[in-house]
């Protein structure tokens, strides 16, 4: 509209039922805009909320599947099926094997089982941290390809 006196700009805004908003107060003369300020604020908050949702959607969480050295093959298949679902959704996957009592004498069984798991999930995941013992537990960390 060009350079308009303040009172005339306010009258024009009132005529159309909108607000006169100062956009660039530091310029000479100050730049104003006739708009619905409440609607503009709402849209800005909505954009921020949407951006926040999208950033949260990409968060990767760590899923854990717990095992024992004597876990049956059928139970292992079910756990692997759940593990596949987690990896397909983009989550990191940690297999934790717990040893009790005399099971500590047969750690090689645990290593063998975790190696088998690594081979079975090789198409979907890669090893981020290979199987290793920490106290009475053995962990293997897989990440999606």
Name which residue leads in pLDDT, 126 or 57.
126
Q: Is 1 part of a structural domain of the chain?
A: no
Kindly report, residue by residue over 40-57, the tens digit of the pLDDT: 999 999 999 888 877 665
Asked whether residue 51 falls in the same domain as residue 116, the answer is: no
Contacts of 31 by beta carbon, 8 Å cutoff, 6+ apart: 22, 23, 24
Residue 57 has what pLDDT?
57
CATH number at 116 reads 3.30.110.10
Residue 22's alpha-carbon distances to 1, 14, 17, in angstroms, are: 14, 15, 16
SS3 15: helix
| Greatest pairwise CA separation for the chain in angstroms | 90
To the nearest 10°, the Cα dihedral for 104, 107, 109, 114?
120
CATH number at 44 reads 3.10.20.80
Domain extent, residue 136, equals 62-144
Asked whether residue 67 falls in the same domain as residue 119, the answer is: yes
Indicate the pLDDT class of residue 61, thresholds 50, 70 and 90: confident
Residue 106 has what pLDDT?
87
Asked whether residue 109 falls in the same domain as residue 46, the answer is: no
């Amino acid at each position: 509209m060009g350079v308009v006196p303040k009172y005339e700009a306010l009258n024009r805004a009132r005529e159309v039922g909108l607000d006169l908003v100062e956009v660039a107060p530091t310029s000479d003369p100050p730049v104003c805009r006739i708009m619905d300020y409440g609607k503009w604020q709402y849209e800005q908050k909505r954009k921020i909320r949407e951006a926040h949702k999208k950033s949260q959607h990409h968060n990767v969480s760590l899923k854990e599947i717990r095992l024992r050295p004597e876990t049956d093959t059928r139970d292992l298949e079910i756990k692997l099926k759940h593990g596949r679902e987690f990896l397909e959704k983009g989550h990191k996957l940690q297999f934790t094997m717990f040893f009790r009592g005399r099971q500590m004498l047969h750690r090689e069984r645990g290593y063998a089982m975790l190696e088998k798991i690594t081979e079975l999930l090789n198409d979907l995941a890669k090893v981020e941290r290979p199987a290793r013992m920490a106290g009475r537990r053995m962990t293997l960390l897989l990440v999606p390809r």
